[in-house]
Structure 1
Amino acid sequence: MTQVEVLQLLVSPAHRLAGRPSDGPSPGPPDERVTRVEVRRGLGLVGDRYYARPAHRNAAVTLMAAESLPAGADLRHTRRNILLQGVDVDSLVGATISLDCGTGLVVFEVKRPARPCAWMDVTIGPGAQRALRGRGGVRCTPLSDGVLTLGPATFRVVAGADDGS
């Protein structure tokens, strides 16, 4: 087990990065960052744009390492859902992980990398897409219901990646 910090949570009801990056993000709430989020098995984050969407069910939640995020950027810029400090999430593709913020275990299957797109050069700054290659976070499937909150959390690789399986 590893102690980590949940620094940010983002639940976005609308897909704000659609169309051409040169047109800029679509309008939306001024801040979609939240202090608490409900996770539903196989569905995603309650209230998020990908919640219960068949095309996104196997990758409805995205995690990103704070250590990969460029200075001055946050989840509003990357459109990832969970920002963790203290763990290299990009190395965990294929693993099953758990996160406990003190409200009980929430289990995720890490499916694939969340590749940065051209929007990163608009929302973060020129060169961000290239800088985030291999460090853009991971797309996950929630395997349990639960609640995540900001603050300290216990992180564990349940299967795969670091456990030798």
Structure 2
Amino acid sequence: MSTAVEVVALHVSPVHAYEGRPGDGPRPDPEPVSREHVVVRAGLGLVGDRYFNQPAHRAAAVTFFAVESLEHIADRLGLPGPPNPLVVRRNVVLRGFDVDRLARHDVFTLDSGDGPVRFEAHRAANPCGWMDAVIAPGAFKALRGRGGRRCVPLDDGLLRLGPATLTT
């Protein structure tokens, strides 16, 4: 089944920004967070990301997130609008597909104009306590079950911001 989606954010970072105690605040990224495109390598992840080619993270190298989850917590917490999608630090943020409904080992394809790239879904990308510090108190609880999905790329390819097609 093919679904028209939008890639609303792409995030690649060589370091963790949310380490230590949330009260101390996140570390700044050493380079810009927002990307126009990312390079995907089969079995390895996103080029330049902290999880790229890390054996302990091969089945979780790329994280997907639905921007609708941020709209949900904005409504639930009474925020003036949804938070910046990059604040959740997920690699690929989509509009138009509930990534949390993917089951372990589901294979899906995302094509943002440069050819299809297949991914295999693995475990949930559970939110952490940092969400209360970087979004608003209560965000951690509001994101439970809506934190996205950790995946492994099955193909080399390129993903871009903008309209895309997701096939399950």
Q: Larger deviation: 22-31 or 135-144? A: 22-31
Aligned positions of 1:49-128 closer than 5 A? 49-69=50-70, 70=74, 71-94=81-104, 95-128=106-139
Gaps of 5+ in 1: 158-165
One-letter amino acid of the structure 2 residue matched with residue 151 of structure 1: G
Gaps of 5+ in 2: 75-80
Distance in 1 (CA, whole Å) between partners of 2:49 and 2:37 is: 13
The 8 Å contact of residues 10 and 75 in structure 1, kept in 2 or not, is answered as: no
CA deviation digits over 1:95-150, x for unaligned, max 9? 11000011011110010111000011111110000000001111001111000001
Distance in 2 (CA, whole Å) between partners of 1:5 and 1:155 is: 9
Q: Secondary structure at the match of 2:166?
A: strand
Q: Secondary structure at the match of 1:34?
A: coil
The aligned counterpart of 1:149 is 160
TM-score (norm 2): 0.90
Distance in 1 (CA, whole Å) between partners of 2:160 and 2:120 is: 19
Paired residues, number:
157
* Residue 27 of structure 1: how far off its partner (Å): 2.2
Which one of 149, 156, 165 corresponds to residue 138 of structure 1?
Answer: 149
The 8 Å contact of residues 51 and 61 in structure 2, kept in 1 or not, is answered as: yes
CA deviation digits over 1:53-75, x for unaligned, max 9? 11111101000011111433234
Q: Which runs of 4+ in 1 moved over 6 A?
A: none
Q: Larger deviation: 30-39 or 53-62? A: 30-39
The 8 Å contact of residues 64 and 94 in structure 2, kept in 1 or not, is answered as: yes
Aligned positions of 1:29-48 closer than 5 A? 29=30, 31-48=32-49
Q: Percent of aligned pairs with the same residue?
A: 55
TM-score (norm 1): 0.91
Q: Which has the higher strand share?
A: 1
